[in-house]
Amino acid sequence: MNFCSACGESVDYKVPEDDTRERAVCSSCDTIHYQNPKVIAGTLPTWGDQVLLCKRAIEPRRGYWTLPAGFLENGETAETGAARETMEEANAEVAEASLYTVFSLPHISQVYMFFKAELIGPSYSSGSESLEVELFSEQDIPWDELAFPVINQTLKHYFADRQSQTFPVHYENLTFKRRK
């Protein structure tokens, strides 16, 4: 950030009084601009013993498989955002959503929340952000073609938890070095 969104003047990076972190502070009106992590909400949609995956039509990781997910919008709950993303990316409706995995990725300032959910019928198709949408059995998951580590981890948890039919909430911190 170079300019203040309140008045348009330049910002300086400094630790404001009574704060502990460097922030963008307007040199004219003293507005403090906080930058916070982005929240990504999605679903782990299931139909019987299969999981619905979407092949990404957008970067990053175009052409790789993912669970339907995206940035949470202002004014919506995480659960509502996850269902919206499932509709946008897979033209699929879900029900009985329950929080399943949460991942903190501080190296990219993101938090992922996935909800385990049942598809309302086996009706789905590619949305504008998906090249393909397909139901996969565990043995057919394209493990080497998954878009992100959070997808891999969520699916691993799901197939392990399915053995005992207990689906606790899983929380993990994932820290990786940024790619250049």
- Taking alpha carbons only, the member of 29, 24, 23 closest to residue 9 is 29
Structure-derived torsion over alpha carbons of residues 12, 17, 21, 23, reported in degrees to the nearest 10: -30
Q: What is the C-alpha separation between 143 and 147, in angstroms, rounded?
A: 9
| Domains with residue ranges and CATH for the chain | 1-35 (2.20.70.10), 38-173 (3.90.79.10)
pLDDT (tens, 9 = 90+) of the chain, 180 residues, equals 999 999 999 999 999 999 999 999 999 999 999 999 999 999 999 999 999 999 999 999 999 999 999 999 999 999 999 999 999 999 999 999 999 999 999 999 999 999 999 999 999 999 999 999 999 999 999 999 999 999 999 999 999 999 999 999 999 999 876 555
Going by DSSP bridges, is the β-strand pair 65-66/110-119 parallel, antiparallel, or unpaired?
A: unpaired
Task: Round to whole Å and give the CA distance between 123 and 120.
Answer: 8
Residue with tokens 């190296």: 107
d(CA 115, CA 97): 6
Its pTM surpasses 0.85: yes
Q: Do the beta carbons of residue 48 and residue 120 sit within 8 Å? A: no
